């Protein structure tokens, strides 16, 4: 491959072949079943071939096709296990690598963007890329002052490719939907298109990364590389050595998984609260675990390294307090108040009328991780949630179709789901509620409601343990009985 495939007709032909290939393999599988081969063996074989074709095509094309594949990969946990197995290896390939551009193309871009004497900026430059992503690839180098750096080079024609790919993928989004039960793929593709111009602008990315790097300088838990130089289609940042999160997902010990999961959850909420920016591309390829001077040091000393700030959501006041307030009131079983707040914020349209208790029952299983002091995220839990919402026969499916996601919450929703997907891939046990108490606006002190509820007691500002959630219904009933007796 001599260059990024840019011509719309070439890219469209490659992408259009995907649904045709899916259909052809299905017909072939039916023929084999008629011929007597076991159905399960045939299904696994078809799924494997489909995975190979889908992600090989997305990886080769880069651009929007690969970005869609990366976004899809974090939802792998939602797939039924009999399907997830054949897909898992193909999905994770997109998280760390893709077919690279040849060095001649890279040199041309560097000469155009940094000047013909670009080599003088570097003491060393490795022509072999260390990583490849949807719109660019990264080369390891040494800056002229001796610092080790990562040089991110944007693919020629990346903007055109992004728009072309996502438009084409949108046309057959319905066929891709079954890859992730319970998820509508088309809004994901639409949202990715809306972010194209921002991700192509390395000046915006550099500004966002500088904000994060300055805020987290010296932080005991999170590391963000400093920006060294930024130009059109070239971004130079300090190099960061670490264990790719994908390796912890594949081979990590329980202690390593738990530490990685806790740091990831902390970054999701703390990052936005401290910077006013939401890092909106949380696939495993964008995270490293830094072990410090001792590679075999205890996981509790690990730090989370964060890369790629090309896609961010600008939230100057942090995450909307509505999220924390509605979550807190849901946990406190305040169905009417939750429903009223969701109506006010546009999650329930004026033309729709729902039962508050039904909405509460829909939400409670989803927010189960916030109920306990610590929660173990698993693929099984994720699959159960996806199946509950995807099954047309279930009340959750019917109610979910009537709920609305306001545009301002779209990216927040996708990032949260993606992060949960990664936590499930890790199988991490996480003290999520601690992070919510510390960083999520509205979770500790919900907004006042029209009618005071005497049974509701807000958490103190510095509380680290929520004892109200630990009381059982039986204990509450016993307390009520005791009060009536004393009266």
Tokens of 163: 């728009």
**Degrees, nearest 5: CA angle 127-130-134:** 105
Distances 449 to 338, 355, 388 between C-alpha atoms, Å = 10, 19, 31
> Annotated catalytic sites, by residue?
281
Q: State residue 165 phi and psi, 5-degree precision.
A: -60, -50
Q: State which H helix or E strand residue 230 sits in.
A: strand 227-231
> CA 212, CA 216: separation in Å to the nearest integer?
6
Tokens of 192: 């990715």
Q: Which of the 8 DSSP states describes residue 285?
A: G
DSSP per residue, 294-325: -TT--GGG-EEEE---SSEEE-TT-S-HHHHH
Determine the angle formed by the axes of helices 158-171 and 8-34, rounding to 10 degrees: 40
> CA 50, CA 25: separation in Å to the nearest integer?
8
Helix boundaries (H) for 35-102: 39-61, 63-73, 81-96
- Specify the residue for token string 């080599």: 119
**Degrees, nearest 5: CA angle 49-51-57:** 100
Where does residue 184 fall: left (phi above 0), alpha (psi -120 to 50 degrees), or beta otherwise?
A: beta
> CA 305, CA 263: separation in Å to the nearest integer?
10
Q: How far is CA 216 from the centre of its chain?
A: 21
């Amino acid at each position: 491959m001599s260059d990024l495939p840019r011509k719309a007709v070439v890219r469209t032909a490659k992408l259009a072949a995907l649904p045709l290939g899916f259909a052809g393999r299905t017909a072939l599988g039916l023929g084999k079943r008629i011929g007597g081969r076991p159905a399960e063996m045939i299904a696994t074989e078809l799924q494997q071939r489909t995975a190979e074709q889908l992600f090989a095509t997305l990886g080769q094309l880069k651009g929007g096709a690969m970005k869609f594949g990366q976004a899809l990969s974090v939802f792998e946990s939602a797939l039924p296990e009999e399907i997830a197995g054949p897909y898992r290896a193909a999905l994770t390939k997109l998280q760390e690598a893709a077919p690279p551009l040849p060095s001649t193309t890279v040199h041309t871009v560097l000469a155009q963007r940094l000047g013909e004497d670009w080599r003088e900026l570097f003491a060393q430059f490795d022509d072999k890329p260390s990583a490849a992503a949807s719109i660019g690839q990264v080369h390891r180098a040494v800056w002229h002052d001796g610092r080790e750096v990562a040089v991110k080079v944007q693919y020629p024609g990346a903007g055109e490719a992004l728009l072309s790919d996502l438009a084409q993928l949108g046309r057959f989004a319905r066929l891709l939907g079954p890859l992730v039960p319970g998820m509508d793929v088309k809004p994901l593709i639409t949202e990715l298109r809306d972010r194209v111009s921002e991700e192509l602008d390395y000046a915006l990315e550099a500004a966002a990364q500088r904000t994060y790097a300055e805020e987290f300088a010296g932080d005991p838990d999170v590391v963000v590389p400093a920006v060294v130089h930024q130009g059109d289609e070239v971004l130079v940042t300090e190099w960061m050595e670490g264990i790719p999160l994908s390796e912890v997902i594949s081979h990590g010990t329980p202690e390593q998984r738990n530490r990685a999961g806790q740091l990831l959850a902390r970054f999701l909420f703390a990052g936005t609260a401290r910077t006013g920016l939401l890092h909106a591309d949380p696939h495993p390829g964008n995270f490293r675990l830094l072990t410090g001077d001792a590679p075999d040091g205890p996981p509790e000393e690990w730090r989370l390294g964060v890369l790629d700030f090309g896609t961010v959501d600008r939230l100057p006041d942090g995450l909307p307090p509505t999220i924390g307030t509605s979550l807190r009131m849901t946990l406190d079983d305040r169905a009417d108040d939750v429903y009223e707040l969701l109506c006010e914020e546009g999650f329930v349209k004026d033309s729709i009328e729902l039962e508050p208790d039904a909405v509460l029952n829909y939400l409670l299983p989803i927010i189960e991780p916030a109920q306990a002091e610590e929660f173990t995220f698993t693929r099984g839990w994720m699959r159960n949630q996806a199946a509950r919402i995807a099954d047309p026969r279930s009340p959750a499916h019917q109610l979910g179709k009537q709920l609305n996601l306001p545009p301002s919450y779209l990216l927040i929703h996708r990032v949260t789901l993606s992060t949960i997907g990664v936590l499930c891939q890790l199988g991490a046990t996480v003290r999520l509620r601690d992070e919510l108490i510390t960083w999520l606006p509205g979770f500790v002190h919900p907004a006042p409601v029209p009618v005071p509820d005497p049974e509701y007691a807000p958490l103190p500002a510095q509380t680290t343990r929520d004892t109200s959630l630990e009381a059982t219904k039986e204990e509450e009933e016993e307390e009520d009985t005791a009060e009536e007796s004393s009266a």
